[in-house]
Each structure stands twice: as C-alpha cells, then as structure tokens.
Structure 1
Amino acid sequence: MLVGTIMRKIKSRTWKKQRYFKLQDDCMTIWYKSKKLFPSLICVPLFPVSVSDVEAIREGHQSEVLLSIADEFPADRCFTLVFRGRRGNLDLVAESAEEAQSWIRGIRKLMENLENMGQRERLDQWIGDWFRKADKNNDGRMNFREHHARLFSFFQMADRSQSGTLEDDEFVLFYKMLTQREDVLRVFQQFSLDGQTLSQSDLEDFLRDGQLEGDNVQQHAETLIQRYEPSDTAKLLNAMTFDGFLMYLGSSEGSIFNPRWREIFQDMSQPLCHYFISSSHNTYLMEDQLRGQSSVEGYIRALSRGCRCVEVDCWDGANGEPIVYHGHTFTSRILFKDVVTAVGNYAFKVSEYPVILSMENHCSVEQQRVMARHLNQILGNKLLKSTLDGKAAVGLPSPEDLKGKILLKAKKLGGLEESFSGTADDSQTGEVSSGKSPPSYNLKDYSRLCLCVRLLVSYLNNIVFESPHSQKLTFISPVFLFPQKSKQRLSKELSDCVVYCKSVHFSNFKHSHIHSKFYEVASFTESKARRHLRDTGGEFVHHNCRQLTRVYPSGFRTDSSNFNPQEMWNAGCQIVALNFQTAGEGMDLNDGMFRQNGGCGYVLKPGFMREAEKTFDPETPQKRDGYQPVALTIQVISGQQLPKVNIKEDSIVDPLVRVEIYGVPLDQNRQETRYIDNNGFNPVWYDTLRFTVHAPELAMVRFVVEDYDKTSKNDFVGQYALPLRCMQQGYRHIHLLSKDGTSIPPSSLFVHIRITELE
C-alpha cells in the first residue's frame, strides 16, 4: 500500500479507468492519480481518501456497479469502500486477488487501529492532520499567515527558533497553548486537596458531588484510576493526575450518553406493538421523490444503520420481472429480486431482531407470483411463512421470538384464523379492497390535469361568482374525480407470505377497537396521524397498545424531507417511517432514539403506553397515573475544536449552542447561549439553560452548534441528540456529529447536567 498499486476505478459498466493508488506516510490518507501521471510517481491528490471516513469494506460484487461488471472481473479482485454519511461508494478492481486482499486487510487494520485509539492519540492525530492542512505550500513549516491565529503572543512563545514559522514540535506547543482546558482544570482543582492530584477520596467526592452518582462510588473510583491514569506512580498511590482526569472525561464513560444504555438492556420478550421500530420510507430512493435515483444501496445503508422496517414499491416490469421505483414519477427503476437479495444479505448484519418488509403492491397477479417466488427462493428460512408454533395465534410475537426473521407487511386474502380453521380459499387469486387510490396517470398527465382544474376553479371564482358574498370554490387535488374505492386482484402465493402484518384500511378508532385483529396494520400519512393525535390522542395511544401503526411522510415532500418523528412517538406509533437519505432534524432524532438498546432498532415504549388499562393523552400528560415532571438544568461550559463551516480563508466560527427539547406538546422548548466572537478552538460560555419536562420518558434532547451570523441564517456546525433518560448527570462531554450523523472528532461540548424531580 505504501509502494502503490494500479487498480481500476469503476463508475459504471462503461466507465472503468486505471488509477494509481498509494497510502501516504501518515497511514491515514490514500491518494490516487490518473494514468497520464503514472511515470512521475508523484501522487497528485486528485481524490484524497481518509481512512477515518471509511465505514466498511465490502468484498466481491457487493454493489450495483460491481454486479454490472461481474462477467468481466472475478469477485476475488473486486471490493468496495463504503464511506460514512451520504458520500458515494468507491468501487475498485485490483490486478490480482492477492493485491485486492492486501488492500482489504490493510485498510481494515488501519480502521481497527483508529477505532482503538485513546483520547490522547486521537488528539495527536488531529493535530497532525491540522498541521498538514494549514501547511499550504507543503514545506513542512507553517507561518502565522497560514494559521490565521487569534493570539500573536502565543505564536511568538511557540516560535522558539525565532524563525517566524512553526515546525512540528513548535506547532504542537502552539496548539496546546491555544487549547488549554482551563475549564476542566477548574473542576479538577475544585475537588483536589493538593491541587496536583485527585486521591481516591477526592475522586469519590467528585463522583458523588460533581457527577451526581449515588451508588458504589468507591469501586467506581478505583476502576477509573486503573483504566485512565497514565502514570504508574499515581496508580501505585491510588490517585489520578490531571491527564488521567482529562482522559476519563473525554472517554465514553465521561460522555453525556450513559454507556450502560448503549447495550441491549430492555426486555425484548414483549409483543411487537410495544416497541418503537426504526423505519424507513421509500428506502430504494437515494435522492428526491420525483427524479431521484433508485438503488439497492438505499436498503444496504438503511439496514446498516439499524433500520428494521424498509419499504418497497412494486410495479410490473419488462420480461415478467417486477420492478421497484416511485410510481408515476421519473425516478429510476431497479429489479425487485435485487432488492430482496440485498435485504436478505444485510438484514441481520447489525441487529438480529426482525426486519419488516413493507410492500406497496401495484403489480399484476402474474408478476405477484414472480414476487412470491423470489421472496421464497432468495430469503428461504429467513422469510416468516407461518405463525411461530404453527397454531392459531392470539397476539403478536416478540422481537426475541422473531430473531433472524423477515416479515412481509402487505395485503392478505382473509385472516390468520382462516388458515387454521380449514376455511381458507384454495383459489389462486382473490380480491382485496385497496381503499382510496390515486389515478393511474403519469406525473406529466397528472400535473396537466391539476392545472386544468385550477384554471376552471379560477374561472368560476372570477366570472361566475361575481358577488362578494358568494362562497368561493377551493382547488382540491383531482383525485376526487375518480372512484374512491377499488378492488385489487391478489395472488394467493403472495398473500400466503403475509402472517403478522396484514395491511388494512383504517376507518376510525371505535371500529378498530371492535373489529380489528392484532395482526392488522394501518398506515397513516403524517397529516392524518397528526389530526388523530390532536383530536383523539388518548384513543390513538390505546389503539397502539394492541396493534402496529405505520406513519409515513406526506406526498408533498417531493424533496424527500422529513417530519418530526417525535409527535408520532407521542401517540405510541411504532413504525414511524423517515427518508433515511435526507439529513436534518428528523433523522437526528431518529438516530438519537435508536442509539440506545444496543442500536438494535427496537426501543421499548414507556409502561403507560403499553398497558390497555392505563390512560395517556399526550396533550394532557399531567393527567396520567404516575405523573412525575422533572427539572432539567444544563450548564453549557465550553466547546473544543469546532469545525470551520465556511471555506473562505479568513473565516472563523462565532459559535452558539442551542438546546432543543422534543416531547409532548407541553415539553416542546428551545433555548440558546450567547455567541462567542471568533473562537472555534475553545469557546467558553458558562451559560445555564433550564427546562421543565412533563413526560421525561418520551423526551428527546438535541444539542445544536451554529455559527452566528448577524445578516443571514446561522450556519450549522454540529449536533447531537439523545433521549433524556439516557443522559448522564454531572460534567460530561458531548461528542458532536455532522449534519449527516457522522462523527467529527475531536469536536465536542463540555457541559454540566442536573435532573431533579419536581414536587
């Protein structure tokens, strides 16, 4: 890797070009250059690849691009670099299987080394990267102009050679001067009797009074000293130096997210309807809903993020093969069988708990039979084809019962009971109600029809109804011109693949309470769900105690934007489907919610949302049994190494921190600190924000750092979201994430958290 290798970079079946790849001396960056520059052996950074950006390596033909050239290059020479966030994959073909394995093993080893780095090593690595980026002319030195320093006096102190430039050691000294952790030192000295070390007794006091830990602080103090103290002498004295204290606070134990909640800690043996389930909408789409690319990569990425419910929209395709795309739009098409293959390959790599395949079926009976055949042949035993014990079920099984199983959510002929009563229909097809259906026009025809109706309404309002007292007409989508209910032909083969998740039309909660079966799943648009939540929130919660509900984004979100999932979780809706390809508030909250419980994609709902005899209305949380509000106090102390957001040479961040509370309507709140002028290295606030939370079991907390701008909208810097109940109290670091949810080390916030029950 350090010598360099010629490999083919593959973009499509027709775009296959040789590139010279070489690992740089820092063992952290791979550069490549075009074939024209091969003889020079000077690696021009046309496309630098940072090992820290690589999320995974897939061997063989495990991408759409490499599958398209499978007949040309054998699998043992192919591999794919998958990057964090929404950056496209890098598909490569080595000259031999041995070379491919050398790169695969080498990159995986470098990734492992990165993962195992301690806080100090990560900081040193970051310093080195920062120095190389600031060294614009690549001469191994950095002058003051290149650095854009705030404090010239620090620069002069670090420039021991008095050369007007900083070399490696001088730059490290300069950096440490700029980024001294006076905030942490202040806490350290507050609890240290001698100001130099924390004895075990001092550390116990800190854990009790500073970190607000009440249990077993003696044993915890002993463990922290052994785990984080770098000095063997201090360890022998059972004490912690400032360096050890800083390493502890920068570790996962010192983070705001309680590490015990990162493991699977919840009861996984309750019915499926008792869990929030990480869910995706239009999973096949990589971009917008009108012209975006459809790709199996969407399924791979969603499942790799712990998603447990993916959606597939099926339509008749050429040569008898069903296809998947966003119907009546210009999105690209992919084969249904390729989607099923991807789901089968990646369903259980991150989580062993069940995956729900939510199907929107627009296919003819003939192609439905093809779909059923693909599901059975490709998924095999992973596809759930009958109740778990082979007997009539009386309730939904649990995630634990369904480990390793894929459940199909779709329309079904009849119900589960008929399968065991001997009354099942043996015919090969049947009819099911499809509820309200949009017209079968393509997008262009539908848009023209909308325009015609708008013009007609405008004409009637302006010409016919001239009286100012007459009631004006309002434009409504021309769906009303078509039959509201229709029958869909359904093949028995596909129907038989549906067991616990039968898609049904929803009438009202009263009808559902009397007639609905536990295995029936109703779907709501966000607007319809929001209306039910506002009008009959308590009934909505009660409905979701018994059966699954899916909520999906409005059809008007053509840009693949997302709604706030919290309002749907407030009603106990389990399958809150989001566009995983779109970064922003919605996905931040979704990632934060499902970061807990081992990232398995299932989170147990609060007890008052699982028990039928309990009553809970999110509009009036204070009326429920066991109501106990809390006061949340957050002191935002400081920030560390906040990234620049503007590529302009003289740009410096003016950071502020906003804390947002998401929960029941009474808890929705946001407050922010003042902004700090021109300091992204180590801004200090010591600003205190206070919140009252009435339903802490449901509340999410989101931290957002922005670059303040007086004349325009603030620029995003970083964020982190987590459930309130997963927060550790005391002095904690918040390790910030980018807009697309990837880490941006070593950027962080330092805060103090206190949660107290209100009388």
Structure 2
Amino acid sequence: MSERTKPPADIKDIFDRYSDHGTMTLDHLLRFLIEVQGEKAATKDDAEAIVNALIALQHPDISQSKALDLQAFFWYLFGDVNPPLSPSGSHDMNAPLPHYFIYTSHNSYLTGNQLSSDSSDAPIIEALQRGVRVIELDLWPNSTEDDVDVLHGMTLTNPVKLIQCLRSIKEYAFVVSDYPVVITLEDHLKPDLQAKVAQMLTQTFGDMLFVPESECIAEFASPEALKRRILISTKPPKEYLEKKIEALEENDPENVESIDREDLEDEEDEEDKLQHNAAPEYRRLIAIHAGKLKGGLKEWLRVDPDKVRRLSLSERELEKASITHGKDIIRFTQKNFLRVYPKGVRVDSSNYDPLTAWMHGAQMVAFNMQGYGKSLWLMQGMFRANGGCGYVKKPDFLLKLGPNNDVFDPQANLPVKTTLKVKAYLGEGWHSDFGKFDIYSRPDFYLRVGIAGVPEDSGMKETKEMDDNWNPTWNEEFEFPLTVPELALIRIEIYDYDMSERDDFGGQTCLPVSDLKTGIRAVPLHNKEGDKYKSVKLLMRFEFVSVDSRP
C-alpha cells in the first residue's frame, strides 16, 4: 500500500468503534469480523491468523502484543488477506454433472481470429491455466490423409497436430482444478482416422480417460466422482458438410467466410448419425453424445429419461428458441447438456452476452478466449465463483420443478429478493501497474459499478470524477435491488476521464454476487484480458439488505 493512501473517515470511525484508545486487540478484531464482515463462524484463531499474516509481511505498525493500530488495520483491509471472494470452493460438488455451469472455450486451439490465425496448443494451455474445463478441437485429416490435424476447417488457419494438443491437455488439465475436463471434438474424419484418434486418446490419457460402460447414460456422475478424469464429447463425422460448403462457395464465394459452419453441422439428425460407420473403438470412448433429434426445436429439446445427451445451439438459435421455448430449454437442461457457441460472423473472435444462456440452464456457454471485451469479463467473473475451479453449481430454481410442476420463467416479472448496497471508498496502485500514464498529468478517475443479470436487475451507475488524483477517494454508495441474485454479477470498471479523447481504461473486475463476501473488502482489478494487476485495488463495502428488513 502506498504510504500516501490514508484511511477515509468511515474507516476511522469503524476502527474507533472496534478498538480501545487506538488499539485493536484480537478480541476487538474478532468482533469486527463477526459484526461488520459478516463472518459469523469466525474464531479468535481466525483473528490471530490475520495478524500473523500481517507480521509475515513485515508490517511495521503491529505491536508485540499482536494488536493493530489504525494504519495496520487499514493495511489489513486493503491487503490480500481480505479478498471479496473465498479462495476455496464452497459449492456442493456431488450432484450430476449437468447441474453445473462449466467453464467452456470455443475453438480452443486458435491464437487469434477465426479465419487466418495460427492453430496451436498454446491457447489450450492458457485456457486450462485460467480454469477452463471444456476444450474444443476440430479434427481434420492432414494433407496426406494419414494423420490428424486440428484447425478451423475451410479457412486459412494453420494446423497443429492433434497429438500435440492432447499431450498439452494431459500436462495442464489439472494444474488449477482437479475437476473433470471435457474435450468436445468436431469430427471430420473417416473411420480409419477415427480409429487412430481412439488410439491417441487411450495411449495419451490412459486411466485418466473416462470410458462409459454403455452408450446410454441415464444420469451422469458428479464432478467429485469424476475428479482428474478426461471426458470425450462428440458426434460422428460430417462428410456432407463439405458438399454444402462447396455449393455455398459456388453461389456466393465472397460471403462464404461468414458461414456458420457449426449451424450447418448441427442440421444432421440422430437417425443420420447412426448411419455413419464410425470406428467402434472410437464410439466407445464417447462419454457425452451430441446431436439433434429428427424434427424441429420441440424434438431437439425432448427429454429422454434413459439417455443424457448434448445439444448445441448457436447464440442466434438460442435467442430465437428462448422466446418461443424458454421453459422447454430449462426442462431440457435439468438433465441434459446444452452447449451454446458464437455465431459464425464473429470472425474477430468476439463474444456474446452469456446471461441468456445461463438463465436457461445452459452448462457449456462456449466463448472465444483469444481476445477481450465485456462479455468475456462476465464469463471470467462467473467462474471466479466456487474457488475458480471451473464448475459453478446452478441455482436450485433451474434444477427443480415448482409446486405446479412448472419451471423458472426468465421473462416473468419477479419480486425483489434482496438489495445489494455497494460503497466505493477509494483506489490505489496505478503508479505500479500503469506506466503509460504521464506522471506529470494526474488522472481523473471515476468508477462504474453495476449488475449484469436478468434484464430487471441489470444496469450501471457512476461515481463522480476525482480530479488530478492517483489515489481517488469517492466515498459513494449505490443500491441495486435484485430479483434473481443467484444469477447476478457485479461489474466494476475504472476509467480516466478525458475531455477531448476516449476515456482511458483503468481496470476492471466482475464478481459473482452469490459468492460475494459482505463487509469491507479489498477488490483487486484486472486488465482487459482478465489478468490481475500486481497492485491496483479498490476498497469497497458490500451489504445485503433483505426486503423484510427495509424500513
């Protein structure tokens, strides 16, 4: 913490209430943890652990009696020992796999745009290091048709060998999380190469590879039961797709780059799938079978009591389906997997709003991880929940039928459940992380804070600008009534006001409301890509006010 950062008046008042003549003992600190921080189960050992952590950091303002003065107390509040989220998981991990939102990447092997960037195992490794649990690989025969490449078909993307991707997945799959990794294969192979892929999978992963006992799984095991296992999800090859692409090229060659190839792929129904002569050793490795049943949307969303399957919809298909078949989607996702992917025109690897998919229970909301943007910030925020393990338990209302055998209706007008009060005290650390700022021109920072969630809950608010100040102190409070707090994310963004040009970015973060710790917390900020800054933090207070307790 910068020595120039001083505790604001509110923090001084709180310290005075929980100290005696300028000294906060362990007993005082424990009372603060329980009454202000909302840690009802805290013990004196927890208070002592905080003080010991400060001592380990060689803070000079802690007495031999392990008591805190005002500056040491402020140092604790603004330190790494006081995060807004619990660093460990707290969700029940013993429910069936479809009961979780799963951190999912799209075209995981691409290093940049969807048309001409290189394919590599590097973005796969990076995704796994960020906690991503679903990796997508597009399989194509190489030029001699004796080996398997990974690339975005019918584009200018350069290939990477499948075996290289598999070896990297094995090495990095469980460095961040022990919970299962799903590999979704977009398969354009003939049976002989499918057999080769089966051999690669079994030899690379060995006992890590989950092999189902039968093709029909009526209910999936839990993430806990599937720890450190690799699951394969795919559907048989699509030779017919090449002919469709060729026909489109002949009719409209200039616009073929924007074809939504996954839309075309998913037109094949399950009866057609079964006619393919897929290699049996390959078929037996498929844990999560994908495909659409013959017929329209109603049939696609039909629930088979004897078989769990995966349905894939483009963002465009989901938007349309959510209007006409919203409740059917939720019923489907109570048992089956729904994967949503970006529409084909997103050749720049941009993304879409994930909230519609989450509101309807979609487990695999596939995102392009190659770039940045506010949609990706929401995705990163959602999966900071549950200790960042890549699995987030879906709310009960998306998993269970109501009293009238009904399901959650995302379009219904719902009452407010709780109000989130957010107070922004101050921020600091830009000197260390933002070398781009002119040291002779002090920034005019302002804070944007708001909610992403169901439409009724969503919105952003702003603080005033703090002119010419590297350590802005806003002391502003906002209230956010929430009808569905279980799906809400709190968005926090910092900008440097510029009168003549676009405001400069100063940091961002997104936090799941369901896992948010109450009380006064140090909130670390991230860059546009989602990497945490070394020093930039905000001091904020979070409080939930129930409807019944409001005056």
- Superposed pair shares fold, TM > 0.5: yes
1:398 has 2:222 as partner: yes
The corresponding residue for 1:281 is 106
The separation in 1 between residues aligned to 2:241 and 2:140, in whole angstroms, is 18
Alignment of 1:349-360 (within 5 A): 349-360=175-186
Match of 1:385 among 197, 201, 211: 211
> Per-residue CA shift, 1:700-724, capped at 9, x if unaligned?
1111111112333322111111111
Contact 1:436 1:485 in 2 (8 A): no
The corresponding residue for 1:542 is 331
1:629 has 2:410 as partner: no
Q: CA RMSD in A?
A: 3.4
The corresponding residue for 1:502 is 289
1:555 has 2:344 as partner: yes
Alignment of 1:172-571 (within 5 A): 176=3, 178-182=4-8, 186-187=12-13, 189-191=15-17, 196-200=22-26, 202-204=28-30, 206-216=32-42, 220-221=46-47, 223-228=49-54, 234-236=63-65, 239-257=67-85, 259=86, 262-319=87-144, 320-387=146-213, 393-411=217-235, 439-441=244-246, 448=253, 450=255, 489-493=276-280, 495-505=282-292, 507-509=296-298, 512-513=301-302, 515=304, 518-571=307-360
The separation in 1 between residues aligned to 2:262 and 2:355, in whole angstroms, is 30
Contact 2:522 2:537 in 1 (8 A): yes
The corresponding residue for 2:525 is 736
The separation in 2 between residues aligned to 1:701 and 1:640, in whole angstroms, is 20
> Per-residue CA shift, 1:581-603, capped at 9, x if unaligned?
21222222222222232322111
How far did residue 308 of structure 1 move?
Answer: 0.9
State the number of aligned residues: 532
Q: What SS does the corresponding residue of 1:501 show, helix, strand or coil?
A: strand
**Closer/same/farther in 2, CA of residues 492 and 687 from structure 1, 3 Å limit:** same
Q: What SS does the corresponding residue of 2:90 show, helix, strand or coil?
A: coil
Give the alignment's TM-score, normalised by structure 1.
0.64
Q: What SS does the corresponding residue of 1:247 show, helix, strand or coil?
A: helix
- What letter is aligned with 1:619? Q
The corresponding residue for 2:446 is 656
- What letter is aligned with 1:368? Q
Contact 2:33 2:42 in 1 (8 A): no
**Closer/same/farther in 2, CA of residues 180 and 193 from structure 1, 3 Å limit:** closer
The separation in 1 between residues aligned to 2:48 and 2:200, in whole angstroms, is 57
**Closer/same/farther in 2, CA of residues 318 and 619 from structure 1, 3 Å limit:** same
The separation in 1 between residues aligned to 2:521 and 2:155, in whole angstroms, is 48
The separation in 2 between residues aligned to 1:193 and 1:306, in whole angstroms, is 41
**Closer/same/farther in 2, CA of residues 645 and 585 from structure 1, 3 Å limit:** farther
Match of 2:495 among 692, 699, 706: 706
**Closer/same/farther in 2, CA of residues 666 and 518 from structure 1, 3 Å limit:** farther
**Closer/same/farther in 2, CA of residues 204 and 298 from structure 1, 3 Å limit:** closer
The separation in 1 between residues aligned to 2:164 and 2:428, in whole angstroms, is 45
How far did residue 699 of structure 1 move?
Answer: 0.8
The separation in 1 between residues aligned to 2:278 and 2:40, in whole angstroms, is 61
Contact 1:654 1:679 in 2 (8 A): yes
> Per-residue CA shift, 1:32-87, capped at 9, x if unaligned?
xxxxxxxxxxxxxxxxxxxxxxxxxxxxxxxxxxxxxxxxxxxxxxxxxxxxxxxx
How far did residue 568 of structure 1 move?
Answer: 1.1
- Report the more deviating stretch, 372-381 or 727-736: 372-381
> Per-residue CA shift, 1:457-516, capped at 9, x if unaligned?
xxxxxxxxxxxxxxxxxxx99999999759574422364244431111153245633557
- What letter is aligned with 1:639? G
The separation in 2 between residues aligned to 1:216 and 1:647, in whole angstroms, is 42
Contact 1:621 1:695 in 2 (8 A): no
The separation in 2 between residues aligned to 1:601 and 1:477, in whole angstroms, is 27
Q: Give the unaligned 5+ runs of structure 2.
A: none
User: In percent, how many aligned pairs have the same letter?
Assistant: 29
Contact 1:225 1:235 in 2 (8 A): no
Contact 1:188 1:242 in 2 (8 A): no
Q: What SS does the corresponding residue of 1:255 show, helix, strand or coil?
A: coil
The corresponding residue for 2:464 is 674
The separation in 1 between residues aligned to 2:355 and 2:461, in whole angstroms, is 18
The separation in 1 between residues aligned to 2:165 and 2:328, in whole angstroms, is 37
The corresponding residue for 1:604 is 393
The separation in 2 between residues aligned to 1:685 and 1:492, in whole angstroms, is 64
Give the alignment's TM-score, normalised by structure 2.
0.87
The separation in 1 between residues aligned to 2:5 and 2:367, in whole angstroms, is 39
Q: What SS does the corresponding residue of 1:371 show, helix, strand or coil?
A: helix
The separation in 1 between residues aligned to 2:154 and 2:436, in whole angstroms, is 40
Q: What SS does the corresponding residue of 1:755 show, helix, strand or coil?
A: strand
Alignment of 1:154-173 (within 5 A): none
1:717 has 2:524 as partner: no
Contact 1:634 1:752 in 2 (8 A): yes
Does 1 or 2 have the higher relative contact order (CA < 8 Å, sep 6+)? Answer: 2
**Closer/same/farther in 2, CA of residues 210 and 660 from structure 1, 3 Å limit:** same
Q: What SS does the corresponding residue of 1:529 show, helix, strand or coil?
A: helix
The separation in 1 between residues aligned to 2:335 and 2:112, in whole angstroms, is 35
Match of 2:410 among 618, 641, 647: 618
**Closer/same/farther in 2, CA of residues 381 and 207 from structure 1, 3 Å limit:** closer
